[in-house]
Amino acid sequence: MGWLVAYDISSPKRWRKVYSRIGEVGYRLQYSLFWLPCDGRTGNALADSLAEIIDPGEDDLRFYRFPDTAWARLYGPLPWSEGVDDALTRRFGDCWRASPDED
């Protein structure tokens, strides 16, 4: 199981805290999108801790469960170096494409 986490944080100070905390657990896929290869308990604990940092009137933080059976096709450059062997590579490496023409 994993999680996709997306956020839009209006304060640079809060953004740094959120970015740092998510980065301890997950992998940055895009500017404000992370993949977290963790179980439900860890994902929920992280969500709870981040809820204490953000301002719900100004910020947007979203957690989406991504079960192991979910399918994804990803296009664009890999967000990690070639030869990296970790949870993200094992989960998505075979379905990542540099361009749609590789299908």
Question: Which residues in 1-103 belong to E strands, given as ranges?
Answer: 2-8, 27-30, 33-36, 60-66, 74-75, 96-97
| Angstrom distance (rounded) from CA 50 to CA 44 | 10
What phi and psi values does residue 6 have, to the nearest 5 degrees? -125, 145
Give residue 76's region: left, alpha or beta (phi > 0; psi -120 to 50): left
Average pLDDT, the chain: 82
Of the two residues 50 and 69, the one the predictor is more confident about is 50
Which position has the higher pLDDT, 51 or 86? 51
Question: Which pTM value belongs to this model?
Answer: 0.74
pLDDT at 15 over 70: yes
Q: Is the pLDDT reported for residue 89 higher than 80?
A: no
Give me the number of domains the chain comprises. Answer: 1
* Contact of 29 with 62, CB cutoff 8 Å: no
Alpha-carbon distance of 33 to 75, in angstroms, equals 15
Residue 54 has a pLDDT of 96
Q: Any idea what the CATH number is for the domain that residue 85 is in?
A: 3.30.70.240
pLDDT recorded at residue 79: 63
The pLDDT of residue 87 is 65
Question: Which residues form the domain of 98?
Answer: 2-102
